Protein backbone atom coordinates (compact mmCIF):
# COMPACT_ATOMS: atom_id res chain seq x y z
CA UNK A 1 0.00 0.00 0.00
CA UNK A 2 1.29 3.49 -0.82
CA UNK A 3 2.00 6.04 1.91
CA UNK A 4 -0.69 8.18 0.29
CA UNK A 5 -3.28 5.52 1.22
CA UNK A 6 -2.03 5.26 4.78
CA UNK A 7 -0.48 8.64 5.62
CA UNK A 8 1.30 9.11 8.96
CA UNK A 9 -0.25 11.63 11.34
CA UNK A 10 2.87 13.86 11.14
CA UNK A 11 4.98 14.51 8.02
CA UNK A 12 8.61 14.60 9.22
CA UNK A 13 9.26 10.87 9.01
CA UNK A 14 7.81 10.82 5.49
CA UNK A 15 10.03 13.77 4.54
CA UNK A 16 13.08 11.96 5.95
CA UNK A 17 12.19 8.80 4.01
CA UNK A 18 11.96 10.67 0.70
CA UNK A 19 15.24 12.50 1.41
CA UNK A 20 16.91 9.15 2.16
CA UNK A 21 15.52 7.60 -1.01
CA UNK A 22 16.75 10.55 -3.11
CA UNK A 23 20.20 10.32 -1.49
CA UNK A 24 20.48 6.64 -2.45
CA UNK A 25 20.14 7.51 -6.14
CA UNK A 26 23.72 8.87 -6.40
CA UNK A 27 22.52 12.08 -8.02
CA UNK A 28 24.85 15.05 -8.32
CA UNK A 29 22.93 17.23 -5.88
CA UNK A 30 20.07 15.21 -4.36
CA UNK A 31 19.68 17.76 -1.54
CA UNK A 32 19.23 20.78 -3.81
CA UNK A 33 16.07 22.72 -3.08
CA UNK A 34 14.59 25.88 -4.49
CA UNK A 35 14.27 28.65 -1.91
CA UNK A 36 11.79 31.46 -2.61
CA UNK A 37 11.89 34.66 -0.60
CA UNK A 38 10.12 38.01 -0.87
CA UNK A 39 11.09 41.62 -0.40
CA UNK A 40 9.08 44.27 1.42
CA UNK A 41 7.03 44.99 -1.71
CA UNK A 42 6.12 41.29 -1.97
CA UNK A 43 8.36 40.85 -5.02
CA UNK A 44 9.56 37.27 -5.10
CA UNK A 45 12.95 35.83 -5.92
CA UNK A 46 14.16 32.25 -5.86
CA UNK A 47 17.37 30.28 -6.11
CA UNK A 48 18.74 26.85 -5.28
CA UNK A 49 20.33 26.14 -1.89
CA UNK A 50 21.38 22.86 -0.29
CA UNK A 51 19.39 21.13 2.44
CA UNK A 52 21.81 20.61 5.33
CA UNK A 53 19.75 18.67 7.83
CA UNK A 54 17.17 19.26 10.54
CA UNK A 55 17.19 21.39 13.68
CA UNK A 56 14.52 19.58 15.66
CA UNK A 57 11.86 19.46 12.92
CA UNK A 58 13.05 22.58 11.08
CA UNK A 59 14.90 22.57 7.76
CA UNK A 60 18.45 23.97 7.74
CA UNK A 61 20.43 25.71 5.01
CA UNK A 62 23.49 27.95 5.01
CA UNK A 63 24.33 31.14 3.21
CA UNK A 64 25.64 34.68 3.43
CA UNK A 65 23.40 36.77 5.72
CA UNK A 66 24.15 39.88 3.62
CA UNK A 67 23.16 38.22 0.35
CA UNK A 68 20.01 39.19 -1.49
CA UNK A 69 18.13 36.30 0.15
CA UNK A 70 19.61 37.21 3.54
CA UNK A 71 18.47 40.82 3.25
CA UNK A 72 15.00 39.67 2.17
CA UNK A 73 14.73 37.14 5.01
CA UNK A 74 15.66 39.84 7.53
CA UNK A 75 12.58 41.87 6.54
CA UNK A 76 10.30 39.05 5.50
CA UNK A 77 11.17 35.73 7.16
CA UNK A 78 8.45 33.70 5.44
CA UNK A 79 9.86 31.52 2.69
CA UNK A 80 9.04 28.54 0.49
CA UNK A 81 11.16 25.55 -0.45
CA UNK A 82 10.72 23.05 -3.26
CA UNK A 83 12.54 19.78 -3.94
CA UNK A 84 12.18 17.97 -7.28
CA UNK A 85 13.58 14.54 -8.06
CA UNK A 86 13.08 13.71 -11.70
CA UNK A 87 14.19 10.09 -11.30
CA UNK A 88 11.55 9.47 -8.63
CA UNK A 89 8.88 11.75 -10.13
CA UNK A 90 8.61 13.35 -6.71
CA UNK A 91 8.16 16.91 -5.53
CA UNK A 92 8.05 18.26 -1.99
CA UNK A 93 6.75 21.77 -1.37
CA UNK A 94 7.36 23.44 1.97
CA UNK A 95 6.27 26.79 3.41
CA UNK A 96 7.28 28.35 6.70
CA UNK A 97 9.24 30.93 8.62
CA UNK A 98 13.03 31.23 8.72
CA UNK A 99 15.15 32.08 11.74
CA UNK A 100 18.92 32.33 12.00
CA UNK A 101 20.56 29.29 13.57
CA UNK A 102 22.45 29.83 16.83
CA UNK A 103 26.10 30.81 16.22
CA UNK A 104 27.32 27.48 17.65
CA UNK A 105 25.41 25.59 14.95
CA UNK A 106 26.78 27.83 12.19
CA UNK A 107 30.31 27.49 13.63
CA UNK A 108 30.01 23.70 13.66
CA UNK A 109 28.72 23.52 10.09
CA UNK A 110 31.28 26.04 8.81
CA UNK A 111 34.10 24.03 10.41
CA UNK A 112 32.96 20.95 8.46
CA UNK A 113 33.21 22.67 5.06
CA UNK A 114 36.09 22.26 2.64
CA UNK A 115 38.83 24.81 3.31
CA UNK A 116 38.44 26.28 -0.17
CA UNK A 117 34.74 26.92 0.44
CA UNK A 118 35.56 28.48 3.81
CA UNK A 119 37.99 30.88 2.13
CA UNK A 120 35.41 31.59 -0.56
CA UNK A 121 32.88 32.60 2.10
CA UNK A 122 35.31 35.31 3.26
CA UNK A 123 36.30 36.35 -0.26
CA UNK A 124 32.78 36.69 -1.68
CA UNK A 125 30.40 39.48 -0.82
CA UNK A 126 27.63 37.31 -2.12
CA UNK A 127 25.10 39.06 -4.40
CA UNK A 128 27.19 42.26 -4.72
CA UNK A 129 28.43 43.36 -8.14
CA UNK A 130 32.06 42.78 -9.08
CA UNK A 131 34.01 44.17 -12.03
CA UNK A 132 35.83 41.01 -13.07
CA UNK A 133 36.79 37.41 -12.26
CA UNK A 134 40.30 38.70 -11.53
CA UNK A 135 38.99 40.86 -8.69
CA UNK A 136 37.33 37.78 -7.18
CA UNK A 137 40.51 35.70 -7.57
CA UNK A 138 42.52 38.46 -5.88
CA UNK A 139 40.07 38.55 -2.98
CA UNK A 140 40.39 34.78 -2.62
CA UNK A 141 44.21 34.93 -2.72
CA UNK A 142 44.14 37.61 -0.03
CA UNK A 143 42.12 35.33 2.26
CA UNK A 144 44.46 32.40 1.49
CA UNK A 145 47.35 34.55 2.70
CA UNK A 146 45.47 35.84 5.72
CA UNK A 147 44.66 32.33 6.93
CA UNK A 148 47.88 30.69 5.68
CA UNK A 149 48.90 29.54 9.15
CA UNK A 150 45.48 29.15 10.70
CA UNK A 151 42.10 27.47 10.57
CA UNK A 152 39.56 29.58 8.71
CA UNK A 153 37.12 31.12 11.17
CA UNK A 154 33.46 31.58 10.26
CA UNK A 155 32.72 35.01 8.83
CA UNK A 156 30.13 36.71 11.08
CA UNK A 157 27.99 37.37 8.01
CA UNK A 158 27.87 33.68 7.02
CA UNK A 159 25.64 31.14 8.72
CA UNK A 160 22.53 29.07 8.77
CA UNK A 161 18.78 29.43 8.88
CA UNK A 162 16.20 26.96 10.09
CA UNK A 163 12.80 27.03 8.48
CA UNK A 164 9.90 26.08 10.72
CA UNK A 165 7.39 24.21 8.56
CA UNK A 166 3.79 25.43 8.51
CA UNK A 167 2.75 23.55 5.35
CA UNK A 168 4.29 20.65 3.48
CA UNK A 169 3.02 18.80 0.43
CA UNK A 170 4.19 15.44 -0.90
CA UNK A 171 3.64 14.94 -4.62
CA UNK A 172 4.15 11.68 -6.44
CA UNK A 173 3.90 11.74 -10.22
CA UNK A 174 1.50 9.16 -11.67
CA UNK A 175 0.31 8.16 -15.14
CA UNK A 176 -2.00 10.44 -17.13
CA UNK A 177 -0.98 13.44 -14.92
CA UNK A 178 -3.26 11.85 -12.31
CA UNK A 179 -0.79 12.40 -9.51
CA UNK A 180 -0.93 11.71 -5.76
CA UNK A 181 -0.78 14.73 -3.46
CA UNK A 182 -0.90 14.95 0.32
CA UNK A 183 -0.67 18.22 2.23
CA UNK A 184 0.03 18.66 5.94
CA UNK A 185 -0.87 21.94 7.62
CA UNK A 186 0.28 22.85 11.11
CA UNK A 187 -2.59 23.89 13.35
CA UNK A 188 -2.51 26.54 16.08
CA UNK A 189 -2.13 23.77 18.68
CA UNK A 190 0.99 22.54 16.73
CA UNK A 191 -0.78 19.35 15.61
CA UNK A 192 -0.73 18.42 11.93
CA UNK A 193 -3.82 18.06 9.80
CA UNK A 194 -3.50 16.31 6.46
CA UNK A 195 -5.61 16.14 3.34
CA UNK A 196 -5.27 14.46 0.00
CA UNK A 197 -5.39 17.01 -2.84
CA UNK A 198 -6.56 16.54 -6.41
CA UNK A 199 -3.82 16.40 -9.02
C1 LIG B 1 23.07 23.12 -6.72
C2 LIG B 1 23.26 24.48 -6.07
C3 LIG B 1 23.40 24.56 -4.70
C4 LIG B 1 23.60 25.80 -4.09
N5 LIG B 1 23.66 25.85 -2.72
C6 LIG B 1 23.78 27.04 -2.11
C7 LIG B 1 23.75 27.11 -0.69
O8 LIG B 1 23.58 26.12 0.02
N9 LIG B 1 23.92 28.33 -0.13
C10 LIG B 1 24.09 29.45 -0.88
O11 LIG B 1 24.26 30.52 -0.31
N12 LIG B 1 24.08 29.42 -2.23
C13 LIG B 1 23.92 28.23 -2.86
N14 LIG B 1 23.89 28.19 -4.22
C15 LIG B 1 23.99 29.46 -4.97
C16 LIG B 1 22.60 30.13 -4.98
O17 LIG B 1 21.76 29.49 -5.92
C18 LIG B 1 22.66 31.64 -5.28
O19 LIG B 1 23.36 31.88 -6.48
C20 LIG B 1 23.33 32.43 -4.16
O21 LIG B 1 22.99 31.94 -2.90
C22 LIG B 1 22.98 33.89 -4.25
O23 LIG B 1 21.59 34.06 -4.15
P24 LIG B 1 20.93 35.48 -3.76
O25 LIG B 1 21.70 36.53 -4.55
O26 LIG B 1 19.50 35.38 -4.17
O27 LIG B 1 21.09 35.67 -2.28
C28 LIG B 1 23.67 26.97 -4.87
C29 LIG B 1 23.50 26.88 -6.25
C30 LIG B 1 23.28 25.66 -6.84
C31 LIG B 1 23.05 25.60 -8.34
C1 LIG C 1 27.74 29.91 -2.67
C2 LIG C 1 27.42 28.60 -2.01
N3 LIG C 1 27.34 28.56 -0.67
C4 LIG C 1 27.08 27.41 -0.04
C5 LIG C 1 26.87 26.25 -0.72
C6 LIG C 1 26.56 25.02 0.08
O7 LIG C 1 27.53 24.10 -0.10
P8 LIG C 1 28.56 23.57 1.02
O9 LIG C 1 28.27 24.19 2.32
O10 LIG C 1 28.30 22.10 0.95
O11 LIG C 1 29.88 23.98 0.49
C12 LIG C 1 26.94 26.24 -2.12
C13 LIG C 1 26.72 24.98 -2.89
O14 LIG C 1 26.80 25.14 -4.25
C15 LIG C 1 27.21 27.46 -2.76
O16 LIG C 1 27.29 27.54 -4.11
Rounded Cα distance, 59 and 94, in Å: 10
Of 28, 30, 35, 63, the residue with max ligand 1 atoms within 8 A of its CB, to mutate for a pocket test, comes to: 63
- Does 49 belong to an annotated binding site? yes
What are the tens digits of pLDDT across the range 127-145?
A: 999 999 999 999 999 999 9
Rounded Cα distance, 9 and 153, in Å: 42
Q: Residue 55: give the domain boundaries.
A: 12-113+157-197
ipTM of the complex, rounded to two decimals:
0.98
Give the count of domains, the chain: 1
State in Å: Cα 123 to ligand 1 middle. 15
What are the tens digits of pLDDT across the range 51-82?
A: 999 999 999 999 999 999 999 999 999 999 99
Asked whether residue 147 is assigned to any structural domain, the reply reads no
Q: Is the pLDDT of residue 1 over 90?
A: no
pLDDT of residue 3: 97
Asked whether residue 166 is assigned to any structural domain, the reply reads yes
Q: What is the CA radius of gyration of the chain?
A: 19
Beta strands of the chain (E only): which ranges?
Answer: 32-38, 44-50, 54-55, 58-64, 78-85, 90-100, 158-172, 180-186, 192-197
Region 195-199 average pLDDT: 98
Asked whether residue 128 is assigned to any structural domain, the reply reads no
The enclosing domain of 17 has a CATH number of 2.30.110.10
177 has catalytic annotation: yes
- Residue located nearest, by CA, to atom 14 of ligand 1: 49
Contact indicator for 123, 134 with CB cutoff of 8 Å: no
Asked whether residue 3 is assigned to any structural domain, the reply reads no
Asked whether residue 62 is assigned to any structural domain, the reply reads yes
Asked whether residue 141 is assigned to any structural domain, the reply reads no
Asked whether residue 83 is assigned to any structural domain, the reply reads yes
Amino acid sequence: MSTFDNPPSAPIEWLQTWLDEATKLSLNEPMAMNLATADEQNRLSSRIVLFKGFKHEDICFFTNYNSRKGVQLEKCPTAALCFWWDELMRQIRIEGVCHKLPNEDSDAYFASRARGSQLGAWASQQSQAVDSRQTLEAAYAEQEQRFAQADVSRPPHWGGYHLSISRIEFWQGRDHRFHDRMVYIRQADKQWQHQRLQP
